């Protein structure tokens, strides 16, 4: 088939499917193109043959050609197509070779609209859904029915007794949200989070912690040096600690030496955003040991906005100078301007500028152990 015509036929396909959903009659299609007429007899015969190959004949679907007279000084009086028309659904599907696909589409569409007529508007906007989920529609319908007919508020996602495997809702959450919102918009608001749509409990983010003072461990969590708690529990605690260490690398949680009246928290990268409103942090000396790269300094700056007295460790210029041979290149170029990190100290900003100049980073694992222990043994940290 002539490529320009094949492209146009496929370009009409989504509109055709939308008409099926809307139960609208087939709209005839007029194909454009091929205005450049042949210059030789060979080209003429090849072009006419290409047009006629798919021309409708008795008992054979295809397009209809309206011819017009055309005169060329080289070729004399000739006939040339003025319009290419597809007047019926049968002709269109024959040309696209999608008879089987559309038959499956119609069958599935009928079942879906019989199940829930309210989803017609959703399928009209997204007709591709009809076949896209053909392998899971049974489970989608059963799951949606369950959520429509059972109270699930206050449950955890994996604890809902839907007639599907435990990961099904999570794997198909956007589709389930669309279906529920379309069927019962007053009960199920649109959005990206299935937990919000269904008013479910969310899995709590647990922060791993370690008592650096054995006496505090005995007092608050007997026989447990390490423990993990969610934010809401941490925010309500009023432990008698003098200093708290936030570390971005879990290994450093185990590396830190014992310190009197101290607690260490694995703040988990950008998950530290959850730690921005902890009353206990405002009552203690607060240290932050982050990555020596762009993200690490961004997080340090953000955290200091919430805790102005926050003090960094191993994130100053001296650490970089002592480990210049250990620099590595950051995968992506730095995008952050130093002046936007307005809460960094001069030595932190100097370290950031050095790293940015080299598009570099210093992995925490590459900081020498003797350097770490010597620094941590000092009374003044920075």
Of 298, 285, 192, nearest to 246 (Cα)?
285
Q: How does residue 102 score in pLDDT terms, banded at 50, 70 and 90?
A: very high
pTM, full prediction: 0.64
CB 30 within 8 A of CB 21: no
CB 297 within 8 A of CB 352: yes
- Domain range for residue 147? 102-198
Domain match, 81 and 186 both: no
More confident residue, 378 or 108: 108
CA distances from 177 to 112, 123, 189, 283 (A): 16, 14, 8, 43
Domain match, 284 and 349 both: yes
Q: Is the pLDDT of residue 381 over 60?
A: no
Domain match, 12 and 112 both: no
Q: Does 61 map to a domain?
A: yes
Q: Is the pLDDT of residue 274 over 90?
A: no
Domain match, 215 and 363 both: yes
Percent of the chain with pLDDT over 90: 54
**How far apart (Å, rounded) are the C-alpha atoms in residues 240 and 13?**
69
Tokens of 341: 């990190």
Q: How does residue 363 score in pLDDT terms, banded at 50, 70 and 90?
A: confident
Q: State how many domains the chain has.
A: 3
Q: How does residue 79 score in pLDDT terms, banded at 50, 70 and 90?
A: low
Residue 382's pLDDT is 43
Domain match, 151 and 235 both: no
Domain match, 76 and 150 both: no
* Mean pLDDT value of segment 19-26: 93
Domain boundary among 67, 97, 127: 97
Domain match, 340 and 218 both: yes
Domain match, 326 and 299 both: yes
Q: Does 128 map to a domain?
A: yes
Which residues make Cβ contacts (< 8 Å) with residue 62, sequence separation at least 6?
54, 55, 56, 91, 94, 95
| Secondary structure element (H or E) that encloses residue 46, with its range | helix 41-53
Q: Does 264 map to a domain?
A: yes
Q: Helix, strand, or coil here: 241? A: coil
Q: Does 32 map to a domain?
A: yes
| Pairing between β-strand 311-312 and β-strand 285-289 as defined by DSSP bridges | parallel
* Mean pLDDT value of segment 349-370: 90
Q: Does 90 map to a domain?
A: yes
Domain match, 78 and 23 both: yes
* Mean pLDDT value of segment 289-303: 92
Q: Does 179 map to a domain?
A: yes
CB 361 within 8 A of CB 328: yes
Domain match, 231 and 330 both: yes
160-169 in b/e form (b: 16+ CB < 10 A) is: bebebeeebb
Domain match, 245 and 338 both: yes
Q: Helix, strand, or coil here: 228? A: strand
- What is the distance of C-alpha 69 from the center of its chain? 57
Residue 262's pLDDT is 96
Sheet holding 29-31: strands in order across?
29-31, 76-86, 64-72
Tokens of 147: 């959520």
* Mean pLDDT value of segment 155-178: 89
Of 320, 241, 298, 279, nearest to 288 (Cα)?
298
Burial classification of residue 376, based on how many CB atoms lie within 10 Å of its CB (0-12 exposed, 13-18 middle, 19 or more buried) = middle
Residue 85's pLDDT is 84
Residue 352's pLDDT is 94
Q: Domain containing 240 — which CATH number?
A: 3.40.1360.10
Q: What is the DSSP string of 341-360?
A: -TTS-HHHHHHHHHHHHHTE
Q: Give the pLDDT confidence of 235-269 residue by residue, as tens digits.
A: 999 999 999 999 988 988 998 989 999 999 998 77
Beta-carbon count within 10 A of 197 CB: 19
Q: Does 382 map to a domain?
A: no
Residue 38's pLDDT is 58
Q: Does 260 map to a domain?
A: yes
Domain match, 172 and 213 both: no
């Amino acid at each position: 088939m002539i490529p320009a015509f094949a492209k146009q036929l496929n370009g009409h396909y989504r509109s055709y499917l939308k008409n099926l959903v809307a139960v609208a009659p087939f709209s005839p299609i007029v194909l454009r193109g091929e205005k450049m007429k042949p210059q030789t007899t060979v080209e003429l015969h090849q072009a006419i043959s290409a047009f006629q190959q798919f021309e409708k004949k008795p008992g054979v679907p295809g397009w209809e050609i309206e011819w017009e007279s055309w005169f060329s000084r080289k070729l004399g009086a000739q006939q040339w197509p003025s319009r290419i028309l597809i007047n019926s659904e049968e002709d269109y599907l024959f040309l696209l070779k999608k008879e089987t696909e559309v038959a499956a589409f119609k069958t599935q569409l009928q079942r879906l609209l019989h199940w829930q007529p309210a989803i017609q508007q959703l399928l009209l906007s997204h007709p591709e859904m009809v076949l896209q989920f053909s392998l899971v529609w049974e489970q989608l319908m059963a799951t949606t029915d369950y959520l429509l007919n059972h109270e699930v508020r206050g449950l955890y996602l994996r604890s809902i007794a839907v007639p599907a495997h435990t990961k099904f809702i999570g794997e198909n959450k956007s589709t389930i949200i669309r279906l529920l919102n379309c069927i019962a918009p007053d009960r199920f608001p649109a959005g990206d989070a299935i937990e919000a749509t269904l008013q479910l409990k969310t899995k709590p983010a647990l922060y791993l912690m370690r008592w650096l003072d054995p006496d505090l461990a005995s007092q608050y969590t007997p026989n447990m040096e390490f423990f993990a708690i969610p934010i809401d529990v941490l925010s309500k605690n009023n432990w008698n600690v003098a200093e708290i260490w936030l570390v971005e690398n879990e290994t450093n949680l185990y590396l830190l030496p014992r310190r009197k009246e101290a607690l260490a928290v694995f703040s988990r990268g950008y998950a530290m955003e959850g730690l921005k409103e902890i009353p206990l942090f405002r009552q203690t000396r607060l240290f932050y040991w982050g990555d020596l790269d762009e993200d690490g300094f961004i997080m340090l700056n953000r955290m200091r906005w919430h805790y102005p007295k926050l003090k960094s460790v191993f994130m100053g210029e001296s650490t970089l100078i002592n480990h210049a041979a250990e620099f590595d290149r950051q995968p992506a170029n730095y995008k952050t301007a130093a002046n936007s990190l307005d809460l960094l100290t001069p030595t932190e900003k100097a370290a950031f500028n050095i790293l940015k100049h080299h598009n570099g980073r210093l992995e925490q694992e590459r900081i020498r152990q003797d350097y770490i222990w010597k620094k941590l043994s000092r009374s003044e940290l920075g």
